[in-house]
Amino acid sequence: MAKPNVISKGDLIHFAKACLVEKGIEKFTLRAVAEVAGVTQGTIYYHFKTKEQLLLYVVQDICEKSWTEISQQQNQSILSQAIKSAQSRCSHDSFYHKLFLTLMVSSFHNEKIRDSLAEMMLLENKAMSENVSKLWANSPIQGISLETWGILLNALVDGLALQALLEKDFPVENVYKDVEKLFHRLSELVDEEGK
């Protein structure tokens, strides 16, 4: 196979994101990414064998950047930043969650996509559990592990995003204010138990 133009995989992921924003997931193709990036379609195929593989890398890139940003926060800031980050991706036209859920549906018929998404979810759950352990010395509810809290938080974020995608007038701001109140109250329970 010929060597690709001098463009990195990371740059192509950046152009793929721009293509998704510009054209939407419905018109997203490897050819469209090549046009946005100003490279040949062969260059795209050199780095990514399928559209789904490129989309997985886009999702992974978004997740990694989000987790890096959240992990750099301190204590209570972790909670606020995580909620703010989740809320920013929770909308009726969120391309991130459309992309994520489209890949999830594709994974029902494609074992490679399923394995990649499962690995990504494990990493997200682990990152959330690690951040929760920075916030809470122990679980606010006896018998529920911090690992389980990480899984529950990720499920909550994905579930709210799904509802926002389906319901145009979903009250994102109000719901996330209540989510923040819930987790502040859970943090208070941890503090009270520690006294």
CA distances to 111, 132, 139 from 136, rounded to whole Å, are 36, 6, 7
Distance in angstroms (rounded) separating the CA atoms of residues 175 and 157: 11
pLDDT at 195 over 80: no
Per-residue pLDDT of 128-165, as tens digits, reads 888 888 888 899 999 999 999 999 988 998 899 999 99
Residues 6+ positions from 134 with CB-CB distance below 8 Å: 75, 78
Phi/psi of residue 118, each to 5°? Answer: -60, -45
Per-residue pLDDT of 76-102, as tens digits, reads 567 777 788 788 888 888 777 888 888
Per-residue pLDDT of 30-79, as tens digits, reads 999 999 999 999 999 999 988 888 988 888 888 777 777 766 666 656 77
**Domains located in the chain, CATH noted:** 7-49 (1.10.10.60), 52-194 (1.10.357.10)
The pLDDT assigned to 128 comes to: 85
The 3-class SS string of 129-192 reads: HHHHHHHCCCCCCCCCCHHHHHHHHHHHHHHHHHHHHHCCCCCHHHHHHHHHHHHHHHHHHHHH
The pLDDT assigned to 2 comes to: 46
With a pLDDT cut of 70, the percent of the chain lying above it is 91
pLDDT at 3 over 50: no
